[in-house]
């Protein structure tokens, strides 16, 4: 198991390094030169010249490309994520302040989507071809097809404006209170629904794949109760591809948080990214994108390890 973890880790680190490199080269695509990304267009010319000098000192955009790349890597390796052009705050500190909001939202959404998605998937596989299956799969289809912000605004219109049940937006003063729960109900629902839909569709396919296998027939033939056949024999084996999708959903939840936090005015890293993009605040954009990508790669690493734990065959591949 240790060897397997090391092997996976040795694949994850080059991927993160690659992501960092990709962002570096993407910056070269900027119209004009990369330095222009770091200067807000609405700055007075005098300020902007001073800023350009500071930026060039920090990132060395006048140096040859390899030297720039080394400096860029050094900055990142020392966790120096730069300074926000708008707020003049350290991007690293900002991200740490905002991370708890996104983590609370993301973990809850992942949990909710796993429970709902797997339950719907298993139920529709068990009742395959009946009206229950049809209705559940239609709900799952809606889940993957509905634009999340549209669902969000529909919910706000319904639950906050029509009947005043839930607060329309903003963070709660105390996240660990009943008020905090009320503030998170709509964001979590919206974020969870999309990945729950995808998960339900995969779970159903995976269950159907397993249900027709010989060992399931054997389990039935030896007289086990149907519930035991489904849960202990079929479901456990159907779980492997489901966990893979759950790992990918971690990424969808992270990127979905960008939109959901914007809609519900939650001060998480997704909202931070959008503010950075709209304010042409590139250090913010770059650091947030890299943080999310790193988180996603490590999320996938955890998924792989969990899979190897669930299914020993994977370890020896």
Partner 1 sequence: MKAATSTRRTAGATVSGAPSDEPALVALGRKSATRTQWQRVVHEVVTNRLALAGAIILIAAATVAILAPLLATHDPRDQSLLNRLSPPSSEYRLGTDELGRDEFSRLVWGARNSLFIGFAGTAGGLLLGTVIGLAAGFFGGWLDTIIMRLIDVMYAFPGILLAILIVAIVGPSITNLIVVLAIWGTPTLSRIVRSSVLMLKSEEFIHAATALGATRTRIMARHLLPNCVGPIIVYATLGLADALLTTAGLGFLGLGVQAPAPEWGTMLSVGRNYLREAPHLMVFPGLLILLTVISLNLIGDALRDALDPRTR
Question: Where along the sequence are the contacts to partner 1 (CB under 8 A)?
Answer: 11, 14-16, 18-19, 21-23, 26-27, 29-31, 37, 141-142, 144-150, 153-154, 156-157, 161, 205, 208-209, 248, 250-252, 254-256, 258-259, 262-263, 273-274, 276-278, 282, 285, 289, 292-294, 296-297
Query: For residues 76 and 259, which CB has a smaller minimum distance to partner 1 in the complex?
Result: 259
| Rounded to 5°, angle at Cα 305 from 119 and 204 | 25
Query: For residues 165 and 174, which CB has a smaller minimum distance to partner 1 in the complex?
Result: 165
Residues in contact with 164: Cβ distance below 8 Å, sequence separation at least 6, in sequence order: none
Cα–Cα distance for residue pair 70/60, rounded to 1 Å: 10
Distances 287 to 23, 24, 260 between C-alpha atoms, Å: 10, 11, 20
Cα–Cα distance for residue pair 247/257, rounded to 1 Å: 16
Query: For residues 150 and 309, which CB has a smaller minimum distance to partner 1 in the complex?
Result: 150
Shortest Å, Cβ 227 to partner 1: 25
Shortest Å, Cβ 293 to partner 1: 4
Shortest Å, Cβ 136 to partner 1: 14
Shortest Å, Cβ 39 to partner 1: 14
SS3 assignment, position 163: coil
| Rounded to 5°, angle at Cα 115 from 109 and 118 | 120
Query: For residues 31 and 223, which CB has a smaller minimum distance to partner 1 in the complex?
Result: 31
Shortest Å, Cβ 196 to partner 1: 15
Alpha-carbon Rg for the chain, nearest whole angstrom, is: 24
Q: Per residue in 253-276, is it b (16+ CB within 10 Å) or e — as a string?
A: bbebbbbbbbbbebbbbbbbbbbb
Query: For residues 224 and 277, which CB has a smaller minimum distance to partner 1 in the complex?
Result: 277
SS3 assignment, position 83: strand
Shortest Å, Cβ 19 to partner 1: 4
Cα–Cα distance for residue pair 317/306, rounded to 1 Å: 15
Query: For residues 50 and 132, which CB has a smaller minimum distance to partner 1 in the complex?
Result: 132
């Amino acid at each position: 198991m240790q060897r397997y973890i090391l092997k996976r880790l040795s694949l994850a680190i080059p991927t993160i390094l690659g992501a960092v490199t990709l962002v570096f080269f993407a910056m070269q695509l900027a119209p004009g030169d990369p330095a222009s990304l770091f200067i807000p267009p609405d700055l007075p010319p005098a300020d902007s010249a001073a800023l350009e000098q500071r930026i060039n000192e920090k990132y060395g955009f006048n140096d040859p490309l390899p030297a720039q790349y080394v400096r860029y890597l050094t900055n990142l390796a020392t966790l120096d994520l730069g300074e926000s052009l708008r707020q003049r705050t350290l991007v690293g500190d900002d991200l740490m302040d905002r991370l708890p909001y996104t983590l609370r939202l993301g973990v809850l959404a992942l949990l909710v989507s796993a429970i709902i998605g797997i339950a719907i998937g298993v139920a529709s596989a068990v009742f395959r071809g009946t009206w229950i299956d049809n209705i559940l799969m239609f709900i799952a289809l809606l889940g993957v097809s509905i634009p999340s912000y549209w669902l969000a605004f529909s919910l706000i219109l319904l639950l906050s404006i029509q009947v005043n049940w839930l607060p329309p937006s903003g963070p709660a003063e105390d996240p660990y209170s009943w008020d905090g729960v009320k503030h998170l109900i709509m964001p979590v629902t919206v974020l969870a629904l999309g990945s729950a839909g995808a998960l339900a569709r995969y779970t159903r396919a995976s269950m159907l794949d397993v249900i027709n296998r010989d060992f399931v027939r054997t389990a039935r033939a030896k007289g086990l109760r149907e519930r035991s056949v489904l849960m202990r024999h079929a479901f456990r084996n159907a779980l492997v591809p489901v966990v893979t999708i759950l790992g990918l959903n971690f990424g969808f939840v992270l990127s979905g948080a960008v939109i959901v936090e914007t809609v519900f005015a939650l001060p998480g890293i997704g909202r931070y990214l959008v503010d950075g993009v709209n304010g042409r605040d590139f250090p913010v954009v770059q650091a947030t994108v890299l943080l999310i990508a790193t988180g996603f790669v490590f999320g996938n690493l955890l998924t792989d390890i969990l899979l190897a734990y669930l299914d020993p065959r994977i370890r020896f591949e």
